Amino acid sequence: MPRNFTDKSGWNPATTKVNATNVSLAGENNSLFQNLGLPCPPAYGSQDDLGKRFLLTETDMVPLASSLYSLSTGQALYGCIVQLVTLDSGATAANVAPGLAAFILDTATGGAAGSGALNYSVTDEAHAVALNHLCGTFLFAATPGNVTYIAIGGKIPVKYRATVTATTAGSTIIVQGAGTGVFDAPTQSGNPTFLNLGNVIGHAISTPANGAVGTVFTKWMIGRY
């Protein structure tokens, strides 16, 4: 994901932005050679990158304009840990976008044949076996069946519901449960259920805004192991 992983398609030196990785095989595109404009750019052949985690460090980002690390929504990325995963072919593409929730999908819990740890399969909320199988947030729009990145720790992007319940910085952020993968900041004085506790992704750094993508600080690293 960082600049020193250009041969893994994570960093795009031509645009100086994090790549919107959406490929059929891990390592399929070599962004460095692609941007040289060669007629037959070589491809990076390793297929062993699934499940690997990359660190986008705050110290790397601070000296540069945050816009260099922006998502398609215009939301800047900060220090976070990302993981390369396979988006299950049965996922709903409309629910795969920056800040929407990603969920673990294993063969043992209803995943397609060959899913699970072998392919590091994830899916959208509409096809999640349970809300507490939350494993991160999507960074890009991706095609079901393809390989992409999710954010799993640090300062990660979340997409808020159209009308957020609590608009206070520091609020606990949970999956709304509406099927689309959006998040909410529930009433902070409420009595959470165990399901609510399993849906927590972290705490809002800035004030949650209606329908916007915001940055949340995770209290622990989640992810697809």
**pLDDT of 153:** 93
Averaged confidence pLDDT in the chain: 78
Beta-strand runs (E) in the chain: 11-12, 17-18, 53-56, 80-87, 101-104, 121-123, 134-138, 147-159, 172-175, 183-184, 200-204, 213-217
Q: What is the mean pLDDT of residues 5-9?
A: 43
Of 7 and 139, more confident? 139
**pLDDT of 39:** 63
Q: What is the mean pLDDT of residues 12-17?
A: 48
d(CA 86, CA 74): 25
**pLDDT of 150:** 92
45 pLDDT higher than 50: no
d(CA 146, CA 163): 32
Contacts of 107 (CB under 8 A, 6+ apart): 113, 114, 115, 116
Residues 138 and 98 sit within 8 Å (Cβ to Cβ): yes
Q: What is the mean pLDDT of residues 154-167?
A: 94
Give the pLDDT band (50/70/90) at residue 108: low
Q: What is the mean pLDDT of residues 140-155?
A: 90
Beta-strand runs (E) in 67-162: 80-87, 101-104, 121-123, 134-138, 147-159
Q: What is the mean pLDDT of residues 62-70?
A: 53
SS3 108: helix
- pTM: predicted TM-score of the whole model, two decimal places: 0.82
Summarised one tens digit per residue, pLDDT across range 168-220 is: 999 999 999 999 999 999 998 888 888 888 899 999 998 999 999 999 999 88
